[in-house]
Structure 1
Amino acid sequence: MGQDILTGSSAEESQTTPAAVDDLIRILEDDAARAALIERLKQAAPAETQDEAAATQDLSIARQLAEYTRGVAEGASATVRSVGQALGNLQQVFSGSMSADSDALREFAVNIGLLVLALFGGFFLLRLIANALGRQIAARAAGKSVLRRLAGLVLLILVDAGSIVLAWGLGYGLALNFGTTPSGQMGINQSLLLNAFLIVEMIKLAVRLVLAPRFPALRLLPVTDGNAAYWSFWVARIVSLLGYTFLFVAPMLTALVSRPAGSAVQVLAMATAVTIGIIIVLQNKDDVRDWLAGISASRDHDGVGRALAAIGRQWHVLVIVYLLALLVVWFANPETALPFMIGATIQSAFAILIGSLVIGFITRFVTAGLSLPDDVKQRLPLLEGRLKSFVPAVMRVVRWIVIAGVVVAIGQAWALFDFAAWIGSEEGLAVAGSVVSAALIVLAAIVLHVVVASWVEYRLNVNFGRVPTSREKTLLNLFKNAFTVALVVFGTMLALAQVGVNIAPLLAGAGVVGLAIGFGAQKLVQDIITGIFIQFENIMNEGDVVAVGAWSGVVEKLTIRSVTIRDLSGTVHLIPFSSVDQVSNMMRGFSYHVAEIGVAYDSDIDAVKLAMHEAFERLMETEHKDDILDDLDMQGITAFGDSAITVRARIKTLPGKQWATGRRYNEIVKMIFAQRGIEIPYPHVTYVPAGGGGRSAPPPARQTEIDGDGDVD
């Protein structure tokens, strides 16, 4: 017995007797004998030579390359030998079956034959009943809501699963009570067949429920009837082939014939399944390519779209290579390699499915846009546009995060790296915490900006709450701009600090750069300093009519560096404060319309004043009476011109109302002067011909008057 153990002979080569087993038990129970046996086993193991030991310590590149190439060659050789041995074992199915015990074959034929007829015959009849019920369920759910269709699908699951379980129970009852085995007992092959039937049919049921080839009304996926029937047919065939082969046929042949016979059938089934898969791929090569090209076109051939189009052109090659690699790996190491590849494939497909659903939801959300309620639009008319500018950008970032997560999940499934172990380590937790903290800071900054900008917008909305003053408009806009700049700077600094960037050198560098900019951009510094003092002195606000430098007009925008003015012709002028020597504001507190009217030298001045007072009284009867703050301020004669005497009067008005009030007053004065014969002189030229003939008076020249706001009367 000890010699058999030392030589490593198998149970098939040595005849183990009960006495030998008893000797081995006594050796293992005796501590001394067991220690002696272990020592003999150690001595029998091949000793490593000094040269090999020295070689193992050689970590040179040449040594590592040699070890790697040797491993690849040995693995390829083992794969070829495994494939050849598996194909050669096919003859064991026939030669082994011919030499098997006739009684065992007869018992197998009777038991399995009856069970197959009862199991699949009963299942066929139950499926007819289930299909009839399924048609009724689908007819009632057709055209209904998603919930009704989902309820119908759940009911169909119960019906189909019930037919499978009933057929399986019928088979178990037949196996236990009929056949050559004693009543109440069943053979192992019958149990294998029943278990294989239950597992395979449940998997096929799941495929039928997803595609619903017979009941389009209950189908939740956007798949055509032809595609649903096609994929349901081929997936069911592949599942049946592999399921019944590996769960029933191969174990049965291994028990009745030999292990090589079972292995040969498994090889044949795997090769057939891979061949069917390659045929399916080639049949759908163009359809999948066109489908991916359509998705790329719908995305305007962006980065993801171009990647999908590139995959569509070569997807069949990748899938065929994968199927062949799956077959070769299974040949080489069916115990561990195949389960690993299948598990990794399922995990990768699941990760891609979840990622596709999330990305699809994000894409539909961004495409559909964001619509706010009408009352919110009225209160915050700019909020929807602001959200539409931020939300798509945030969704794009989230989409790329999802894509990165899918890539990480695929790499984890294929053991390319151990992301789960790394993220669970101290370093991984620190990096993840830093990234999440930085992302939350950026997100909080975006939300805070939207909130503050919306509050300023609401405060400036004249349709709600208290009407803001010009000063409030100016200060709120300045506050929003300054807050945005500060938020960007501090948010960026805090985010960089969270990811491990030392912001102290950045702050110091910013100070140095600011100093350099201060020396190199003196005009910019002068703009800002002057703007600060202008804001402190409150000399102008948005909406005021001012004269700044050589330009005058309405202030449309006021920042810390410049003022934007729109003049009477509609031209917009951007004036930096460094070029501003003085600011004249025409809308502070109150205003005056100064009426300086020229009359002839022979006019009665008292009559002129009386006419101007009467014009003011008529003005007070018009719509401008609410804009006038005081009585007419008659100042009398102010100048003696070449051809006219200037009489001045002032009308005090609300700020900004002096121009409209003055235009209306001038119209009334002109009418009253015409009625009372008061002459308004104008310059004219008398032309005397050279011949001394009659005098010819040219037509009177037109007199023009320009009022305070630049209008020509």
Structure 2
Amino acid sequence: MPLRNAAASLLFLLILIFSPTLSSAQEASPPAAKSASSIDDLIRILENDEARNALLTRLKSEVSTDQAKAPPTEDQTIARQIAEHTRAAAEQIMEGGAAIWSGVAAVATVFSGSGEVDYGLLQTLALNVVLVGASLFASFFVLRMLSYVLQRSLDRRAAGRPWPLRIILTAISTIADIVTVALAWSAGYLIALQVIGAGGGRMDINQTLLLNAFLMVEMLKVAIRFVLQPRFPALRLLSISDTTAAYWYFWLARAISLVGYTFMFAAPVIATNVSDTAAQAIRVLVMLTALVIAIIVILQNRDRVRRVLSSRASHGRGDFISRSGAFLAGIWHVLAIAYLVAAFVVWLVNPTTALPFMISATLKSVAAVIVGGLVIAFIGRFANAGLRLPDDLRLRLPALEGRLKAFVPRVMQVIRTVVTVGVVIAVAQAWGLIDFLGWLSSEAGQRISGSAIAALIILLLGFVAYLAVSSWVEYRLNPEFGSIPTSREKTLLSLFRNAFTIALVVLVSMLALAQIGVNIAPLLAGAGVLGLAIGFGAQKLVQDIITGVFIQLENVMNEGDVVALGSVSGVVEKLTIRSVSIRSLDGTLHLIPFSSVDTVSNLVKDFGYHVAEIRVAYREKIAEVKEAMQEAFDLLMQTEWGDQIIDKLDMHGVTSLGESAVVVRARIKTVAGGHWGTGRAYNELVKQVFDRRGIEIPYPHVTLYKGDEKAGRSPPLQLEGGSQPT
């Protein structure tokens, strides 16, 4: 029987669900009669086979009909899901609106005197709250006047002082502000307990709500005063004007007071003494007022923020931040208003879950943007401030400052990009768009992030190694410190720096690629094959390199030497393992590959000779000419060129008998590269001594001889247009 009654009851419930006729008929009966008659009817139906089969057929048809009418629960489209969420939100908004109207009606009922409210109790509560509030704000006013004197003194002390002292004075002023609020709050509690509570040590919950709301609101105002300092500009840490600070403090303080006192004091009191619906109506009205205030502030600052956002782009910058700022400059106010309206709607629809998430995500996003902006501002200030090394280091390493100035801006740009990407990731993480932290804690995330960090460290160490080696080479080549480098040292150090730079770039690139997961074995094999192919295909290049290696090993020329390579001569400006750059006397720079060099003539290797070949007339005595040349050499030794001469005059004597002159040669040995200047000075002195001694340096001339007649006389020379010689 129990099993039968249970089956009958279950079947009866099914009938009530799927059979509107039967359920409507049963609703017309009293509950007790309904239950008894339903069980009897159900028993009769189950005992009758035809009635039972008819009931089962009807139930099956009803289930089929309901399933056909029911919307599909699987594979819903995005449009349908959005429509369902929109419908739910609209229904909740309508329910909230109905609740608000109910709350307004409840408040109106209370104030009209038609509601069932204990007005005597309300008057007592209002009187106690007014007394506590009056004493609270009166004590706070007095304490604020006393702290104002201290803060004004701190403001005068902070004027013109360095920023560390200003930070300390600002902190002291803020501590005094916090103490003022805490003392006023304590005074309010004391008055509420001892005076209004008639010394019984008991106070009403509404007074506690007022005191706690005061503490929370005023502490938030203290935080705003710490940042803005509207009355004390010397204590202000932000570089904003007095008008801007006063403007923002005015709006922020009033918005905090309005929302804070409403949610922490007025709404709980109304909910306790009137109704929850009335309290919710007050909250909605206050939030709507705060929304209107926020929209007004946004519209008032639309142009100012637009100029700030587009300032980087207006100065010609084309980076990601500048382009983003220029894009947001025209629509930022629309986005801000849309966000505030969305936050208000979310608060109306689901204040317990959606609004806290939205507020938390917003605070995290703002914090990420502020931190990222501060980092980017610091980096920009550091980059714009310039990099200046100490004078002693600049003298030792003249090229280091320029090298760092060329490298630091690129590094700063990379850091700015990384910070911007980090801010975007933080904002997306805050709003739940991505789970970057979860990915970072996973095995793949740790592997990828570790590889990226290792690659960056390798690149940084590679740059440090390059900077160290380049600075060391530069120091060794600096003639003002340590030993003066020789030409050989200059050449070898320059070649070492170039070779080290190439090897370092290849090594660092390979290690960095290996850290990020690239298999470098095929690259190395490919580089070997490519090098072999280049060796076969570029024989001229191989010849250049091999010839250059032997030239360097034989030390036949170095940077700064004066050489002659074929038809080109000049000063060696740059020497690599493949070619040499020569600056000729007229300033032309010649790049000569070593494969085209057959002979290298170094004109300044070890020492030099000035070869003086002096032409004199046949009538001059050679001994007198040699004596005059020796006198010119003695005079040369008494000039500044004497330091360049490293040996006595090497007199060779008569070397040739020319058509019009006798050539007398002497040689002067000088230091390497000193023979050109010494020779010019010696030629000048020879000219002076010859002029003083009357020694002729003849012009080229020809002696004409016509022969003799048989009589022994020379035939006359016929001159056209002139007289005949006798």
1:514 Cα deviation from its structure 2 partner: 3.0
CA contact (8 A) 2:563 2:603 kept: yes
Distance 1:201 1:299, change over 3 A: farther
Distance 1:596 1:252, change over 3 A: same
Task: Give the letter aligned to residue 91 of structure 1.
Answer: A
Q: Is 1:84 equivalent to 2:97 in the alignment?
A: yes
Aligned pairs for 1:202-217 within 5 A: 202-217=219-234
TM-score (norm 2): 0.83
Deviations 1:178-209 (A, max 9, x none): 44788222222221111111101111111122
1:668 Cα deviation from its structure 2 partner: 2.8
Distance 1:315 1:400, change over 3 A: same
1:73 Cα deviation from its structure 2 partner: 3.1
1:52 Cα deviation from its structure 2 partner: 12
Deviations 1:666-691 (A, max 9, x none): 22333333344433332247999972
Q: Is 1:693 equivalent to 2:722 in the alignment?
A: yes
Distance 1:580 1:245, change over 3 A: same
Local SS of the residue matching 1:467: coil
Task: Give the letter aligned to residue 244 of structure 1.
Answer: Y
- Bigger drift between 263-272 and 450-459 goes to 263-272
Aligned pairs for 1:4-403 within 5 A: 63-65=76-78, 68-88=81-101, 89-95=103-109, 98-179=115-196, 183-298=200-315, 300=317, 302-403=319-420
- Bigger drift between 244-253 and 134-143 goes to 134-143
Deviations 1:343-392 (A, max 9, x none): 22112111211111111111111111011111111111111111111112
- Bigger drift between 579-588 and 600-609 goes to 600-609
1:77 Cα deviation from its structure 2 partner: 2.7
CA contact (8 A) 2:660 2:702 kept: no
- Bigger drift between 238-247 and 641-650 goes to 641-650
Name 2:453's counterpart in structure 1: 436
Name 1:711's counterpart in structure 2: none
Tell me the distance in 2 between the aligned counterparts of 1:271 and 1:71.
27
CA contact (8 A) 1:110 1:179 kept: no
Q: Is 1:456 equivalent to 2:473 in the alignment?
A: yes
Deviations 1:597-646 (A, max 9, x none): 23334443333333333333333333333333333333333333322333
- Bigger drift between 380-389 and 156-165 goes to 156-165
Tell me the distance in 2 between the aligned counterparts of 1:273 and 1:295.
33
1:283 Cα deviation from its structure 2 partner: 1.3
Tell me the distance in 2 between the aligned counterparts of 1:600 and 1:117.
128
1:309 Cα deviation from its structure 2 partner: 2.6
Distance 1:185 1:564, change over 3 A: same
Name 1:640's counterpart in structure 2: 657
Distance 1:146 1:624, change over 3 A: closer
Name 2:570's counterpart in structure 1: 553
Tell me the distance in 1 between the aligned counterparts of 2:79 and 2:412.
50
Distance 1:585 1:331, change over 3 A: same
Task: Give the letter aligned to residue 373 of structure 1.
Answer: P
Name 1:700's counterpart in structure 2: none
- Bigger drift between 561-570 and 358-367 goes to 561-570
CA contact (8 A) 1:285 1:316 kept: yes
Distance 1:82 1:436, change over 3 A: farther
Q: Is 1:406 equivalent to 2:423 in the alignment?
A: yes
Tell me the distance in 1 between the aligned counterparts of 2:702 and 2:319.
77
Local SS of the residue matching 1:371: coil
Local SS of the residue matching 2:331: helix
Local SS of the residue matching 2:398: coil
1:312 Cα deviation from its structure 2 partner: 2.0
Deviations 1:395-447 (A, max 9, x none): 22112111122112211221211222221222211111111111111111111
Q: Highest Rg: 1 or 2?
A: 2
Tell me the distance in 1 between the aligned counterparts of 2:543 and 2:239.
66
Tell me the distance in 2 between the aligned counterparts of 1:180 and 1:458.
85
Local SS of the residue matching 1:593: strand
Distance 1:333 1:182, change over 3 A: farther
1:457 Cα deviation from its structure 2 partner: 0.8
Corresponding residue to 2:541 among 524, 530, 536: 524
Q: What root-mean-square deviation, in Å, do the aligned CA atoms of Structure 1 and Structure 2 show?
A: 2.9
Structure 2: gaps spanning 5 or more residues: 1-12, 14-62, 705-716
CA contact (8 A) 2:614 2:664 kept: yes
Distance 1:547 1:252, change over 3 A: same
Tell me the distance in 2 between the aligned counterparts of 1:224 and 1:312.
22
- Bigger drift between 412-421 and 605-614 goes to 605-614
Local SS of the residue matching 2:310: helix
Corresponding residue to 1:662 among 669, 676, 679: 679
Tell me the distance in 1 between the aligned counterparts of 2:207 and 2:621.
135
Name 2:27's counterpart in structure 1: none
Name 1:488's counterpart in structure 2: 505
Tell me the distance in 1 between the aligned counterparts of 2:159 and 2:658.
98
1:512 Cα deviation from its structure 2 partner: 3.4
Local SS of the residue matching 1:416: coil
Tell me the distance in 2 between the aligned counterparts of 1:204 and 1:689.
127
Tell me the distance in 2 between the aligned counterparts of 1:630 and 1:133.
89
Tell me the distance in 2 between the aligned counterparts of 1:607 and 1:221.
93
Tell me the distance in 1 between the aligned counterparts of 2:233 and 2:684.
83
CA contact (8 A) 1:82 1:331 kept: no
Task: Give the letter aligned to residue 352 of structure 1.
Answer: V
1:539 Cα deviation from its structure 2 partner: 0.8
CA contact (8 A) 1:628 1:651 kept: yes
Tell me the distance in 2 between the aligned counterparts of 1:678 and 1:152.
95
Tell me the distance in 1 between the aligned counterparts of 2:718 and 2:300.
108
1:249 Cα deviation from its structure 2 partner: 1.5
CA contact (8 A) 2:616 2:697 kept: yes
Local SS of the residue matching 1:639: strand
1:526 Cα deviation from its structure 2 partner: 2.6
TM-score (norm 1): 0.85
Task: Give the letter aligned to residue 82 of structure 2.
Answer: T
Deviations 1:244-274 (A, max 9, x none): 1111122222211222122211111111111
CA contact (8 A) 1:123 1:163 kept: yes
Distance 1:343 1:54, change over 3 A: closer
Aligned pairs for 1:591-610 within 5 A: 591-610=608-627
1:148 Cα deviation from its structure 2 partner: 3.8
Deviations 1:492-547 (A, max 9, x none): 11111111111222222323333443344443333222212211111100111100
Local SS of the residue matching 1:565: strand
1:165 Cα deviation from its structure 2 partner: 1.7
- Bigger drift between 435-444 and 172-181 goes to 172-181
Distance 1:436 1:278, change over 3 A: same
Q: Is 1:588 equivalent to 2:617 in the alignment?
A: no
Tell me the distance in 1 between the aligned counterparts of 2:149 and 2:670.
91
Local SS of the residue matching 2:451: helix
Task: Give the letter aligned to residue 403 of structure 1.
Answer: T
Percent identity over paired residues: 55
Tell me the distance in 2 between the aligned counterparts of 1:76 and 1:631.
111
Tell me the distance in 2 between the aligned counterparts of 1:400 and 1:142.
38
Deviations 1:9-49 (A, max 9, x none): xxxxxxxxxxxxxxxxxxxxxxxxxxxxxxxxxxxxxx999
Tell me the distance in 1 between the aligned counterparts of 2:228 and 2:247.
10
